[in-house]
């Protein structure tokens, strides 16, 4: 696990279940745009603890409804303790919602707009051996933040933009040995097995051969699974079952129950 989330349960849950996962849904992207903008000058854990307040204040992050908010709404939100009470940030959230809708009208989705800045329209997976190697910005975040500033977005400079790209999966900056980094390398659509693998699994787990693929995919996607890599193999452990998959071919080698 990446060191930055420490042992705070809220932070750990966010790291394990959200940070770096690819998001394409416009409403969720607007949520992170709003939360990241609110973070400016503050810690992310402060915003996470107010997340439900933001969800309530900004109408479950329905950007079309937020775009229709008035000056009276701004004043009401300024008095609401559930969010960071900063007039400029509140105003920016509403203005950004209007501009967010404009981008969707132009590009079809906010995801398509953001990914258009990436070479070959592909997300970036960085080599991050330790915390000191974590970037805080990139040429891509520079370009996006400049374009969004030109369009009228505020509280979305290159550092905030880069944080947004990390959070929403456009950039994978999990540490190299983090189980989440390894998980992103497993393409569940490629998972398959051989006759020998099927024989081993049916013998060890006592499940039918037709159930093997769905069983293994469920294990891989389960947030409580612990995933590691040694040499050519991935090892996915959930409860007392460990699944072994060849990292190169995505071939399921075996699955067995851990004794005791």
Catalytic residues, by residue number, are: 14, 36, 44
Q: Which long-range contacts (CB under 8 A, 24 or more apart) does 114-121 make?
A: 114/29, 114/144, 114/165, 114/170, 115/170, 117/143, 117/144, 117/147, 118/170
Residues 112 and 121: their CA atoms lie apart, in Å, by 9
Tallying the residues shown for the chain, one arrives at 260
Task: Using CA atoms of 151, 156, 159, 162 in order, give the dihedral in degrees to the nearest 10.
Answer: -80
CA distances from 113 to 26, 108, 150 (A): 11, 8, 14
Phi and psi angles of residue 211, each rounded to the nearest 5 degrees, phi first: -95, -10
Q: Which of 213, 214, 239 is nearest to 226 (CA)?
A: 239
Residues 186 and 248: their CA atoms lie apart, in Å, by 10
Phi and psi angles of residue 171, each rounded to the nearest 5 degrees, phi first: -130, 130
Task: Using CA atoms of 130, 45, 225, 20 in order, give the dihedral in degrees to the nearest 10.
Answer: -60
Residues 169 and 124: their CA atoms lie apart, in Å, by 9
Phi and psi angles of residue 138, each rounded to the nearest 5 degrees, phi first: -155, 165
């Amino acid at each position: 696990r990446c060191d930055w989330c420490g042992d705070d349960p809220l932070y750990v849950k966010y790291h394990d279940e959200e940070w770096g996962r690819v998001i394409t849904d416009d409403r969720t992207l607007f949520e992170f745009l709003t939360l990241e903008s609110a973070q400016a000058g503050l810690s992310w854990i402060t915003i996470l603890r107010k997340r439900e307040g933001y969800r309530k204040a900004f109408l479950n992050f329905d950007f079309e409804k937020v775009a229709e908010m008035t000056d009276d709404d701004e004043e009401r939100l300024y008095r609401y303790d559930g969010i960071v009470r900063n007039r400029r940030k509140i105003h920016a959230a509403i203005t950004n919602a209007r501009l967010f809708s404009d981008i969707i009208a132009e590009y079809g989705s906010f995801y398509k707009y953001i990914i258009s800045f990436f070479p070959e329209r592909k997300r970036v997976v960085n080599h991050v051996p330790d915390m000191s190697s974590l970037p805080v910005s990139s040429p891509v975040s520079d370009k996006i933040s400049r374009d969004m500033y030109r369009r009228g977005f505020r509280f979305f400079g290159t550092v905030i933009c880069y944080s947004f790209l990390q959070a929403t999966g456009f950039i994978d900056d999990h540490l190299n040995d983090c189980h989440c980094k390894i998980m992103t390398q497993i393409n569940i659509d490629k998972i398959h097995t051989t006759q020998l693998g099927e024989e081993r699994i049916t013998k060890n787990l006592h499940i039918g051969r037709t159930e093997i693929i769905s069983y293994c995919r469920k294990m891989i996607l389960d947030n409580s699974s612990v995933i590691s890599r040694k040499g050519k193999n991935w090892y996915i452990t959930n409860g007392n079952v460990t699944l072994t998959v060849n990292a190169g071919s995505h071939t399921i080698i075996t699955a067995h129950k851990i004794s005791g």
